[in-house]
Amino acid sequence: MEKQFPIIQLMDVNGNIEKQEYSSKITKELTEKFYKHVLRIRTFDKKAVSLQRQGRIGTYAPYEGQEASQVGSALALSQDDWLFPSYRDHGATMTFGHSLRNILLFWNGRNEGCVPAEGKKVFPPGIPIATQLPHAVGAAYAEKRKGTKNASIVYFGDGATSEGDFHEGLNFASVLNAPVVFFNQNNHFAISVPMTKQMKTSTIAQKSLAYDIPGYRIDGNDIFAVYFYTQEALKRARNGDGPTLIEAMTWRYGAHTTADDPTKYRNQAESEKRRKDNDPILRLERFMKNNGWFDENHKSALLAEISEEIDAAISEMERFPKANPADMFDYVFEKPTWGIAQQKEELLQVLRGENE
């Protein structure tokens, strides 16, 4: 199956374009746009980890190493498309226009964190694994029924393919010919479980065969491959040709979340090797240098601008009152059931006792 689903690469690790038919599409303007966004989301990610360590936000899910997958796919979307993230895809959501302040509020336990920017269709992050896949199919099918050209993209990790929601989502999308792109970021581990212990198949892309839809395995650290193949999948969706499954091969450098210790189950030397040899940002920089488009002063100016934007978002986030734990009971049903109402009252009693 690895031969049937080879890893598609447009740019090698040294920043050279391998498929020349794409050269005319890779402009300086597009490259600089990619570069700004990957720097922006990596800077945010590092800052968020630091905030968690300082106790200024709650448990956080880092994505460092997966920037090309998230930026390249999100920039392929049109303004009226739907984006369905998992808890690790805030790099994609901020690239699509989600507020940095609200992303930080989400990680600080406030409901405002789930509110997208005006006019943006960004679903709240899926915390239970793979639950966002059927939702993405439903939204895509609704757009089809309405006669629009809008599509959905849904993000998920390799662990999500072990859930029933994954198979149900792909089956419904296939049967309904829904305009949805299933975007898998295969970072080789579902928390502590390596891919080899989750599935017998050698690729995730091959699972597309069971649902008679196209499947591609791409180099998820090659931002050009991510962007152009996501674009093609979205074009298929808009043209009424149905769903596509994309497996983006990538690697997460850090922990599953800030509550996790990856040294207990993963050789961190592999992470350091990949950081040196196959980092998505370094690859893009190598490409820019090969074409005479890289400027160290411009990079410094970009980082200063990005840091200022993130610091402003942090200040806004910290002006909000602390989250009230009892709020979690308010958005389960339109009218709370007696059991939820009772649980909320019990928690409020505990909180009042702590404050006395």
Our answer to whether residue 256 is catalytic in this structure is yes
Please check the confidence at residue 79 and state whether its pLDDT lies above 60. Answer: yes
The arithmetic mean of pLDDT across residues 285-289, rounded, is: 98
Q: Which residue has the higher pLDDT, 330 or 302?
A: 302
pLDDT in tens, 131-156: 999 999 999 999 999 999 999 999 99
pLDDT tens for residues 323-347?
Answer: 999 998 998 899 999 999 999 999 9
CA distance 211 to 282: 37
Q: Pick the catalytic residue: 252, 253, 283, 286?
A: 252
Domain 7-323 has CATH 3.40.1280.10: no
Say yes or no to pLDDT of 214 above 70: yes
- 135 catalytic? Reply is no
Q: Where are the domains of the chain?
A: 7-323, 324-356
Task: Look at the pTM and tell me if it is higher than 0.85.
Answer: yes
Confidence of residue 354 (pLDDT cuts 50, 70, 90): low
Question: So what's the pLDDT on residue 259?
Answer: 93
- 100-107 and 296-318 are packed helices; what angle lies between their axes, rounded to 10 degrees? 50
Q: Which of 98, 135, 217, 256 is catalytic?
A: 256
Q: Of 53, 145, 265, 331, which is the active-site residue? A: 265
C-alpha 250/C-alpha 26 separation (Å) is 22
252 is catalytic: yes
Task: Please report which confidence band the pLDDT of residue 90 belongs to, taking 50, 70 and 90 as the band edges.
Answer: very high
